[in-house]
Structure 1
């Protein structure tokens, strides 16, 4: 429940980012040159990275941009990529797992081999390799560069492409057990079609493992997105992102450790809350885990 409350707090902050930065006056988007000291290489005034009533989390060294504004807008990006890619990979995994487990034969063999190949891929390495290739093929904006929104869609698709096999393998195993149960035999005797058996008989009995898989995929995808942005192949400016923020902050760690500490701790709290929530959902929906 604590993890759920923390997650809801992050979601509310992300949804209210424009209100928090414009109406309340917290986290102004424009740079504040008065908050950085030109005599020290444009480092923030004060010992805590420029934290004040105007700048709740301080300012960025060199630019004077408010760190709170960058973080709340970057949170929207992280949650969007995490949930969207987890949803896509879960849907694809459920469809593949249902088909492999129910039809068996050459369908199961083909899909199982594809799952094995996808699970053997070093996910992060191949996303890093694919992203520049796709970026060069998507010269879509007026400046000859990659459109930021389209880049975000490609990033979501790449993460989902390399993560659907986990859900598919889980669903396949469950379907192999369920297809031999009495209620499936009864549906066949009553001349129920394959679509009815798949989506009306089997799928409703799979919602617990599917929900668990989705809940555990979200934090993993958020971490992957942050790592990609940290390495420079994720979300591109001017779109805000926590991974890119950590990459920039690592250059100023000795001069302004708060610049790295604050977004790093917030990312840790978000991922930890999502993982604990996923574990809680698994314990609540899996009676065997409780008995163990």
Structure 2
């Protein structure tokens, strides 16, 4: 027996879309009405880790302050009223062997950090200009060594085979050299081959260029070894195989696929190379094969101050303490960057 259709009740209301949405099950909301968690980039997460590390933030502030002082060196020297190689003969006493008048190395309103014994140069002007010289050499050498080391490490790790063996042996040889000893030996040799100025001395810009190149020659191998190890662990990953299947060339894989995944170790290597280069440059100037006198440099100031330490210890302590603060701040900041970029690092 067939079922008869039921008549439509005209008095019954058709549910509205608003009613349907009200009756539909709602998606679960976070507890307490909190907003959904948004994705964060690795750089942002690293910065948030750094902000929780007070030591790293303090070292970052100290580093930025030193960089600003180096950039503003001409302005600061002009405010002080003395240039880095402008002597004040009235500030030294010829009766005491040209030592500064007064105590603490002649510190006064006229000379904020005193004057150099024997020459009468203003120490404040020489300190700020010497900081500029140290940072120029250190940063330039760090950039060159990082770029060269990154390219060599990429090539050795990705291509492998005989190229990897040759480049790895070159890295081993460079790392085995006693860097400071060879820099001391090579700098005078290269200096003798350089064009001399009208006074028979080496041109200052050429000497700085020699320092940058010499330091870079021995520093790139550390970055190359680090990058090579990272590339060896990445070249067999799925995204590299997918790029090969899609027909990507070697240049695309190296610089568009691998290199973006290496920015963290490269940045760490650069951050740790800068303080090492500053110490190396100061050591070379201290030993007499760095910046050409009388151009200002902290290492050269320490070398000269050793002769006057008994009667004028302030001249040794001022550049020595500043060099210690700068290198220590850069090293601790580099360690903080390494910890912030490494998600597996142990943090309190």
Report if TM-score (shorter chain) is over 0.5: yes
2:346 aligned with 1:290: yes
- Cα distance between partner residues in 1 of 2:240 and 2:140: 33
- Cα distance between partner residues in 1 of 2:80 and 2:283: 31
Mean Cα displacement is larger for which, 32-41 or 220-229?
32-41
2:159 aligned with 1:103: yes
2:190 equivalent in structure 1: 134
Deviations 1:56-81 (A, max 9, x none): 11100111111001100000000001
- Cα distance between partner residues in 1 of 2:82 and 2:67: 17
User: Which residue, out of 119, 126, 129, partners 1:70?
Assistant: 126
2:296 equivalent in structure 1: 240
TM-score by length of 2: 0.82
Contact 1:115/1:165 (CA < 8 Å) preserved in 2?
yes
User: Which residue, out of 309, 324, 329, partners 1:253?
Assistant: 309
2:180 equivalent in structure 1: 124
Could you say which structure has the larger radius of gyration?
A: 2
TM-score by length of 1: 0.97
Structure 1: 5+ residue stretches without partners: none
2:53 equivalent in structure 1: none
1:25 equivalent in structure 2: 80
Q: CA RMSD in A?
A: 1.2
Per residue, is there more helix in 1 or in 2?
A: 1
User: Which residue, out of 149, 167, 190, partners 2:205?
Assistant: 149
Structure 2: 5+ residue stretches without partners: 1-56
Tell me how far 1:172 sits from its aligned partner. Answer: 0.2
- Cα distance between partner residues in 1 of 2:200 and 2:119: 26
Tell me how far 1:145 sits from its aligned partner. Answer: 2.6
Contact 1:27/1:67 (CA < 8 Å) preserved in 2?
no
Contact 2:302/2:316 (CA < 8 Å) preserved in 1?
yes
Q: Within 5 Å, which residues of 2 pair with 1:1-292?
A: 1-22=57-78, 24-29=79-84, 30-290=86-346
Equivalent residues, number: 291
